[in-house]
Structure 1
Amino acid sequence: MAKSLTLALAVLVAGLSAAPALSQDRPTLTIYTYDGFAAEWGPGPKLKQGFEATCNCTVNWVAADSSIGTLRRAQLEGPSTEADILLGLDTAIAGEARATGLFADHGLDLSHLALPETWTDAQFVPFDFSHFAFMHDTDTMQVPPASFEDLIALPDTVKIAIQDPRSATPGLGLLLWVKAAYGDRAPEIWAGLKPHILTITREWSESYSLFLNGEVDMVLSYTTSPAYHIIEDGDDTIKAALFSEGHFPQIEVAGILKSSDQQDLAQQFLAYLTSPEGQKVIPTTNWMFPVIDLGADLDPAFATLPQPEKTLTIPEQDITANSAAWIDEMLAAVQ
């Protein structure tokens, strides 16, 4: 009996001693992203829960106020960054991100993706997409403008809120949308929009709040934004105005840092992110389209959303080479 008790105590002590070692053996995957993604109502918590159930690891979200902010932080930290993955960049800043040399090839087969165009990028993995559009409320604006020129022609009392292209990816998306649609006429369009611009906010959430509070008539957002109001509020009065020029897309992406000591784990996470289980989280938490065909698992509200007949694009190399000058051009016209 005494021998058995001694043995039991020895096993208990050994187990307690081993516990910290087991905990230390559980790897941590650190992901830099924007605050909305990591928020309790965003995709982050559910993706963390789902992936941790399969990986015997810990997912650590580190949130910045914007996806551009995550890139700037990683650039400042360089090879010493704790980030294994940057998540939430988009194709408008992918070229700038690629030029930093911070990103490794993802090594994944992405042939199963369903995007507006075939995906061939070796470094960045897409996880959602939509098109930029101006929201309006049919209770106050029954007939929205059908082009930028229509918007310009409205009385100056019609106000819009947009985002700063230097700090917010939607703001940069609008800049590229105008440039893709009008080319050298872009300064003319910006000058025409100036009387309608109530404010240029640092981030999307600030300008969208102005719209919801009735302080502006229209706000730059996404063609998928009405799905939130339909599903969460039971409100179908918020609509996206479709423009005859076509619309510019946003495809959000994630990339693995070369400096990460968790390359395999990071690759596993990106594979999970583009799997049916991971993609089912995205639509009703990030309010964007998934990058795979979810079939019946996609809320029917998304199928009711009108979408652009024409998608506008600008080659990545042109965006990287010219975006700074285009931003200066826009600011000179609206300030």
Structure 2
Amino acid sequence: MKALPFVAGLMLASAAAAETPVLTVYAPDYFASEWGPGPGIEAAFEERCGCDLEYKTGELLPRLLLEGANTEADVAIGFNSDITKKARESGLFAPHGLDTSALTLPIEWNDDTFVPFNYSHTAFIYDNTKITDAPTSFDALLNAPDDLRLVLQDPRSSISGLALVLWVQQVYGEKSEEAWAKLAPKIVTVTKGWSESYGMFTDGEVDMVLSYTTSPAYHIIAEEDLTKSAAIFDEGHYFMVESAAKLKNSDQSDLADQFMAFILSEEFQTMIPTSNWSFPAALADDKWPEGFKALPVPEKVLFYSEDEAAAVRNEAIEAWRRALSQ
């Protein structure tokens, strides 16, 4: 007879667990990792929603396109602005219905589907104790001595690598291949992803690495290291934004709406700088951490709309490929 209360307790606990709604959020690996913004966002949202937020990680768009209308995702977060056109055309996403007037992006953003959560600018990072005359323009980088060692990421597999070829396309247009030919002798290697490139830079194997204007903030805040800087170019820097969207066929529509609104909240936005090491998309700069306030930012922002990016993407990559294969 003593087992009855125990069994009853188990049944009640199981029933309570079954009644807890689950919000499934698809996210890139970096987002949900222990050093990314995901864990803090999960804990904060669960306090608000009385639900269980579960991340499923991996490549966002390929997985969603494969699963189609049968996807388990309620929300997907981590879309780069250069691939939102393909995501939008899938028909898988619902309008967010939010007031986005509080966005603090350096460009105007009018999108009824994708809600930005952070941004940065593509840039070359260097050690300011080793390079005291860093290039201040893209032209200066192209004309720097060929013994300057650079590492880049492949635009076919890396969002930062893709941003770079779009940046070069913005600056040089029809002369992009010529620009790449000038840069090629300085490129030590092209890596598949950002982590490998940045590791080469921090290990001292190269002089400059393709990264973001916000990368020095990590060194400043987490390591108290002031030796890393972004080279700011007169021609401007290509702007990148990451966003989230609600799945049209979500079976937790109300929770998904709550999460989309949470993205624009101050609680969410204040977690972004020191976990995703990017500028928050909806937070005034006087609320940024001190390490971010000190960062130099480009006076000019370069950007392709999703339609423009789709139109030039293949040729921009091909110009890069042709120049580096010579």
Partner of 1:239: 229
User: How much has 1:294 moved relative to structure 2?
Assistant: 4.5
Find 1:209's aligned residue among 194, 199, 210: 199
Matched position secondary structure for 2:12: helix
- Conservation of the 8 A alpha-carbon contact between 2:150 and 2:187: yes
Is 1:114 paired with 2:108?
no
Number of residue pairs the alignment of both structures matches:
325
Instruction: Tell me the TM-score normalized by structure 1.
Output: 0.92
Pair member with larger Rg: 1
**CA distance in 2: counterparts of 1:26 and 1:122, whole angstroms:** 30
Partner of 1:3: none
Find 1:29's aligned residue among 23, 31, 39: 23
Is 1:225 paired with 2:215?
yes
- Conservation of the 8 A alpha-carbon contact between 2:136 and 2:232: yes
User: How much has 1:53 moved relative to structure 2?
Assistant: 0.8
- Conservation of the 8 A alpha-carbon contact between 1:148 and 1:189: no
Is 1:282 paired with 2:276?
no
**CA distance in 2: counterparts of 1:234 and 1:99, whole angstroms:** 44
What is the aligned-residue RMSD (CA, Å)?
1.8
**CA distance in 2: counterparts of 1:96 and 1:295, whole angstroms:** 32
- Conservation of the 8 A alpha-carbon contact between 1:207 and 1:219: yes
Question: Which residues in structure 2 correspond to 1:41-120 (within 5 Å)?
Answer: 41-64=35-58, 69-120=59-110
Is 1:267 paired with 2:257?
yes
- Conservation of the 8 A alpha-carbon contact between 1:111 and 1:119: no
Is 1:328 paired with 2:322?
no
Instruction: Tell me the TM-score normalized by structure 2.
Output: 0.94
**CA distance in 2: counterparts of 1:292 and 1:27, whole angstroms:** 28
- Conservation of the 8 A alpha-carbon contact between 2:104 and 2:284: no
Question: Which residues in structure 2 correspond to 1:13-24 (within 5 Å)?
Answer: 14-24=8-18
Alignment gaps of 5+ in structure 2 = none
**CA distance in 1: counterparts of 2:154 and 2:205, whole angstroms:** 18
- Conservation of the 8 A alpha-carbon contact between 1:276 and 1:294: no
User: How much has 1:235 moved relative to structure 2?
Assistant: 0.9
Alignment gaps of 5+ in structure 1 = 1-5
Matched position secondary structure for 1:248: strand
**CA distance in 2: counterparts of 1:87 and 1:187, whole angstroms:** 34
**Could you tell me which amino acid in structure 2 is paired with residue 181 of structure 1?**
V
User: How much has 1:52 moved relative to structure 2?
Assistant: 0.6
**CA distance in 2: counterparts of 1:247 and 1:295, whole angstroms:** 19
**CA distance in 1: counterparts of 2:201 and 2:140, whole angstroms:** 20
**CA distance in 2: counterparts of 1:47 and 1:39, whole angstroms:** 12
**CA distance in 2: counterparts of 1:263 and 1:280, whole angstroms:** 25
